[in-house]
Amino acid sequence: MTMKVGIISFAHMHALNYAHHLMDHPEVELTAIWDQDVTRGSKMAEQFQCDYYVDLAGFLQLDIQAVIICSENAHHREHVFAAARAKKHILCEKPIATEIEDAKAMIDVCKAEGVILQVAYPVRFSPVIQQVRNIIQSGEIGEVIAVNGTNHGLMPGGWFIEKELSGGGAATDHIVHVMDLLRWMLNDEVKSVYAELDTRFYDLDVEDCGIVTIELESGVVVTIDPSWSRPKTFPTWGDVTMEIIGTKGNLSVDVFKQHSLHYDDAQNKIVQLPWAEDMDQGLIHDFISCVKEERTPSITGEDGLRTLEVVKGAYESSMTQQVVALNRIKL
């Protein structure tokens, strides 16, 4: 039976790739798109040969089983609430929300309405990351004692640098990916956060660089560089890397290492063309199977909440210049 899916907003650039993977899925129909931006929404509906709706209520009355929410971070709460109350299963772009209270409310409403809430952390579906997790959990490198991670990127511009829509800058955008991987691989939670965040590369009202130092409950020490430090000429958006130190060995991870370089004279630029399995495809296929099998999502609303708590702790630490003990909210 074909599963009908809709997309709420193409504000986030990941929506485009998600839509392609929905179109390619043999058991899915991308039925409709809602977008507050009429021009963008109409263009996307034409590209993906589906209907465009300017009215969200009308969109949610359609016979669709699930929605993918790719709106600006500050709008995630209202869109999750609307979709949940319309009994639609939800894949929500990261970060789950801009405020911890909103994230909890989103989790609660989805539970009350009996719908799936999955958070979009596609890096979990990278084959190299899955292999790294297996190595760590097998004990092959012994007890993990430290991790040095990066999630560098290009400065995205647009609403990403408008705090009222994004919730923050590079720290909001990039801490969450590395933190989600570490929670998933190590089965550990954050005890405390110390962060120094700043704006050094661009003239922005949000931070574009920083270093975050984290102690996990087990005693593992983690550093994350989440900076928008890639130059405009860089051949891809950024990176996810980790140096994982164990008592019996170390792991060096570069998630996007598997690529070819395309020297494109027509566009006058060099572009990285990845040839590894597409992690976005893995995310979409996993979400579809969660809905069809009516099972707990692989990446839960709580996963989104816990990574957001780290981000908020980093902002508090940077502001106070103190180590912040993380008090995890109870669900």
Superfamily of domain 123-276+308-325: Dihydrodipicolinate Reductase; domain 2 (3.30.360.10)
Residue ranges covered by each domain of the chain: 3-120, 123-276+308-325
Residue-wise pLDDT for 131-170, tens only, equals: 999 999 999 999 999 999 999 999 999 999 999 999 999 9
User: In the predicted model, is pLDDT for residue 241 greater than 90?
Assistant: yes
Provide the percentage of residues in the chain whose pLDDT is more than 90: 97
pLDDT for res 151 = 96
pLDDT given at position 275: 87
pLDDT band at 1 (very low <50, low <70, confident <90, very high): confident
Determine contact, residues 225/152, Cβ cutoff 8 Å: yes
pLDDT at 122: 97
Mean pLDDT of 116-142: 97
Element housing 209 (H / E): strand 209-216
Per-residue pLDDT, 166: 98
Tell whether the model's pLDDT for residue 178 goes beyond 90: yes
- Residues recorded for the chain: 331
Percentage of the chain lying above the pLDDT 70 cut = 100
User: How much is the pLDDT for 276?
Assistant: 87
Q: In the CATH hierarchy, which top-level class contains the domain 3-120?
A: alpha beta
- pLDDT bracket for residue 128 (50, 70, 90): very high
**pLDDT exceeds 90 at position 193:** yes
For strands 221-225 and 209-216, give the pairing.
antiparallel
Strand-pair category, 3-8 with 144-150: unpaired
Confidence class of residue 256 from pLDDT cuts 50, 70 and 90?
A: very high
Q: What is the pLDDT of residue 135?
A: 98
- Quick check: 329 and 100 in contact, CB under 8 A? yes
Give, for 90, the enclosing helix (H) or strand (E): strand 89-93
- Asked if residue 308 has pLDDT above 90, the reply is yes
Kind plus residue range of the DSSP H or E element containing 312: helix 301-320
- On whether the CB atoms of residues 34 and 8 are closer than 8 A, the answer is yes
Q: What mean pLDDT is reported for the chain? A: 97
The pTM of the full predicted model, rounded to 2 decimals, is: 0.96
Structure tokens, 323: 């180590």
User: Would residue 158 be called left, alpha or beta, if left means φ above 0 and alpha means ψ between -120 and 50 degrees?
Assistant: left
Q: Which residues pair with 32 in a beta bridge?
A: 6, 51
State which H helix or E strand residue 44 sits in: helix 38-47
Using one digit for the tens of pLDDT, what is the confidence trace for 65-86? 999 999 999 999 999 999 999 9
Six-digit token pair at 293?
């099998």
**Taking 90 as the threshold, does the pLDDT of residue 17 lie above it?**
yes
The residues facing 126 across adjacent strands are: none
